[in-house]
Amino acid sequence: MRRDGSRFPLFVQRIPADVRAKAIGNPLAIPLGDSFVFVTPSEDAQAIRFSIRTAEPSEVKKRQALAAAYLETVWEALRNDAPVHLTHRQATALAGELYRVWADSESRARSVAMVHTPGVGWAPDSESHEEQEAHWAAVTEMWERVAGDGEAKKLEKALGPIVDRLLLTKGIRRVDSESRALLLTAFWMALRDAFASRQRNAGGDYSLDPRPLAFPNGRPRQMHRRKSQSGVPPRIPSPG
C-alpha cells in the first residue's frame, strides 16, 4: 500500500481480534532497516501501519517480512499470558543484547562528524574529545545514582519500558517477579558498563572491550512458562 503524496509504501497489518484489547496502548519497537519504528496502538486502531521509508523493491520486501515476523511474535506473546520464569543466565544474556546495542553504536560514530554552517559550508564537528569524555562521565555518574540503594523495584521507572520491549521481541509478554528483578538489575549493569565504554572511547581508548565476554553468547533458548498450579518450577535449558 502506498499513501497519497509519498513515494514510500506503507506497512499495514491488521491487529488480530483476539489480542486487540491487550495490544491497545502497548508500545511496540518494530525493526525497520538498521533502526526501529515505534508504534503504540490507540483505542481506535484496527491495524498497525507505518511508512517503510524506502522505495527500493528488494529492501521493501525485506522490511515488510521482518516487521511481519516481529508482530507475529508479539501477537503470540499477548496470547500466552502466563508469566515466564528466567534463570540468572538468561536474564544476563538479554542484558547482553542491550549492552551491545549501546556499546557497539559508538563504533558507528568514530568517523569524523561533519556540521554545516550557512555561508561557511561543511566542517568537522568542533566538539573535542575532552568534551565528549566529560559528557559520558556525567552520564555514567548519573546512572550510578539511578540504582540508589540497589533495590530492583526502584529501577522500574527508568528501565521497565525497555525491558518490556525487549521481552516482546522474544515472544514474552511478562515474567514472574523474581525474573523481573533479575532483568532490571542486569539491564542497569549493562547500561552502566556501556556508558563507561563510551567514556573510554571518547578519551581515545579503543582497546578491545572485555565486557561482552561477561555475557552468555547468543540468544536465550526457549523460555518456559511457569505453570501456576504446579509447585515445582519447570526445567529451563541454559543458553548455549
Cβ neighbours for 88, distance < 8 A, ≥ 6 positions apart: 182
Q: Is the pLDDT of residue 51 over 90?
A: yes
C-alpha cell at position 173: 509478554
DSSP string, 96-144: HHHHHHHHHGGGGG-SPPEEEETTTEEEE----HHHHHHHHHHHHHHHH
Average pLDDT over residues 46-50: 96
Q: Can you tell me the distance from the alpha carbon of 174 to that of 180, in angstroms, rounded to the nearest whole number?
A: 8
Q: What is the pLDDT of residues 160-217, one digit of tens each?
A: 988 998 898 888 888 999 999 999 999 988 888 888 888 887 777 877 666 665 666 5
Contact present, 187 and 128 (Cβ < 8 Å): no
Q: Pick the residue with more confidence: 122 or 232? A: 122
Span of 20-29, 63-72, 90-99, 123-132 with lowest mean pLDDT: 123-132
| pLDDT at residue 175, as a whole number | 92
Q: Pick the residue with more confidence: 2 or 88? A: 88
Q: Can you tell me the distance from the alpha carbon of 131 to that of 147, in angstroms, rounded to the nearest whole number?
A: 25
16: exposed, middle or buried (Cβ count in 10 Å: 0-12, 13-18, 19+): middle
Average pLDDT over residues 89-113: 70
Q: Does pTM top 0.95 for this prediction?
A: no
β-pair type (47-51, 10-14):
antiparallel
End-to-end CA distance of the chain: 41
Look-up of cell digits 526501529: 36
What percent of the chain stands above pLDDT 70? 71
189: exposed, middle or buried (Cβ count in 10 Å: 0-12, 13-18, 19+): middle
Average pLDDT over residues 6-28: 92
Q: Can you tell me the distance from the alpha carbon of 2 to that of 73, in angstroms, rounded to the nearest whole number?
A: 25
Q: Pick the residue with more confidence: 104 or 178? A: 178
H/E run at residue 31:
strand 28-32
Average pLDDT over residues 121-142: 69
DSSP-derived letter for residue 155 is G
